[in-house]
Amino acid sequence: MANSKYEYVRLFEQPDNLLPETWIVVRIDGRGFHKLSDKYKFEKPNDRRALDLMNAAAVSVMKDLPDLIIAYGVSDEYSFVFHPNCQLFERRSAKLVTTIVSTFTASYVCQWPIFFPDKPLDLSSLPTFDGRAVQYPNAKILRDYMSWRQVDCHINNLYNTTFWSLVLKGGMSNVEAEKELQGTVSSDKNEILFSRFGINYNNEAEIYKKGSVVYRQYQLEDQFSATTASLTQAAESQPSGELSKTQQEKMRKLRRKAQVVVEHVDIIKDDFWQRRPWLLSGKP
Ligand code: DGT
Ligand code: MG
Ligand code: MG
Ligand code: MG
Ligand code: MG
């Protein structure tokens, strides 16, 4: 095709490829969900249906993008993790972020009526999400990132559970409850919950205390199949960027076949990662 005189405008497009061999986390977050959760009367402090809908949308994203290794969600946010060996969209940041945000949002909106059949979406208050990509140079820092989100989940949930108990069960105003909790540490909040409301925080639902982890579960036979073994070898013998297109496609196929699971478990301790070695190795 002959170049038109307008072709030069291409020069204004800047590359935004992320660094090679780094972990990429795309974190999305609900826009104005404080207002949205009021508008659709989400239960306080946790609305199980809203969280299940977030998880359903995250599963859609994981299924749509086999390059994703794991995702972690809490409240109105989700972090999606690509392995250092990921070559999707030549690791272009905008492509990765916008694909995840739009796939997540489309799935969230489309599945809304399944989770909230009694609350039709209002065109003037549609759920939307923003997103960003951050790179982490090694597995330790990636795990610290995941731990940071899960600790945040715990701290916020303990606070919110205590706050809303004081308001909804204890008859305090929001301002009074906030004052009551000022300067308290975890053990104080546990004590308030137990002594005033008979709530043992340890018995609260795991989904609220730990958030949600979404990843691919492999059957053992599958995990150690000949294909996987040869891929593993190929991946070890060369930098990930040099995995052939065929090898990358095989990897995707294996990942597509795997079952995507949602669990509410500790991802801070080593145990979770040691039992699922394919997550950090990125093979398959
Ligand atoms: P942003 O992210 O800057 O656009 O603003 P927001 O309003 O989305 O704030 P953010 O993301 O810091 O906090 C999430 C809000 O979503 C927070 O106000 C509580 C609300 N939210 C999330 N999950 C639930 C839930 O299960 N129940 C209720 N009642 N509210 C929730
Ligand atoms: Mg935000
Ligand atoms: Mg938000
Ligand atoms: Mg948020
Ligand atoms: Mg196009």
For 144-161, write each residue's pLDDT tens digit.
999 999 999 999 999 999
- Cis status, amide bond into 239, omega within 30 of 0: no
Separation of CA 38 and ligand 5 centre (Å): 37
Separation of CA 112 and ligand 5 centre (Å): 27
Q: Is the pLDDT reported for residue 240 higher than 60?
A: no
Mutational pocket test of ligand 1: of 37, 128, 174, 212, the residue with most ligand atoms within 8 Å of the beta carbon: 37
Annotated binding site for Mg(2+): 29-30, 76
Separation of CA 273 and ligand 4 centre (Å): 25
Ligand nearest to C-alpha 54: 1
Annotated binding site: 29-34, 75-76
User: 235 or 280, which is more confident?
Assistant: 280
What are the pocket residues of ligand 1 if the criterion is a CB atom closer than 6 Å to any ligand atom? 29-34, 37, 42-44, 46-47, 50-51, 75-76
| Residue at 246: amino acid letter | T
Residue identified by tokens 């995702």 is: 71
CA-to-CA distance for 154 and 209, rounded, in angstroms?
Answer: 5
The CATH fold assigned to 14-152+205-281 is: Alpha-Beta Plaits (3.30.70)
pLDDT at site 228 = 64
Q: What is the ipTM of this complex?
A: 0.97
What confidence tier does 43 reach under pLDDT thresholds 50, 70, 90? very high
Using CB atoms within 10 Å of the CB of residue 181, give its burial: 0 to 12 exposed, 13 to 18 middle, 19+ buried: middle
pLDDT at site 227 = 63
Please give the angle made by the CA atoms of 138, 75 and 270, to the nearest 5 degrees: 35
Determine the number of helices (DSSP H) and then strands (DSSP E) in the chain: 12, 6
Ligand nearest to C-alpha 95: 5
Ligand nearest to C-alpha 75: 1
pLDDT at site 239 = 57
pTM reported for the whole predicted model: 0.94
List the one residue out of 157, 199, 190, 192 whose CA is nearest residue 177.
192
Separation of CA 190 and ligand 2 centre (Å): 29
Domain boundaries, the chain: 14-152+205-281
pLDDT at site 283 = 84
Annotated binding site for GTP: 29-34, 75-76
Mutational pocket test of ligand 1: of 31, 48, 76, 159, the residue with most ligand atoms within 8 Å of the beta carbon: 76
Mutational pocket test of ligand 1: of 28, 33, 39, the residue with most ligand atoms within 8 Å of the beta carbon: 33
Q: Is the pLDDT reported for residue 234 higher than 70?
A: no
pLDDT at site 241 = 52
Separation of CA 86 and ligand 4 centre (Å): 27
Ligand nearest to C-alpha 36: 1
Residues 21-34 have a mean pLDDT of 98
Complete edge-to-edge strand list for the sheet that includes strand 212-217: 129-136, 23-30, 77-82, 68-74, 212-217, 259-263
H/E stretch holding 5 reads: none
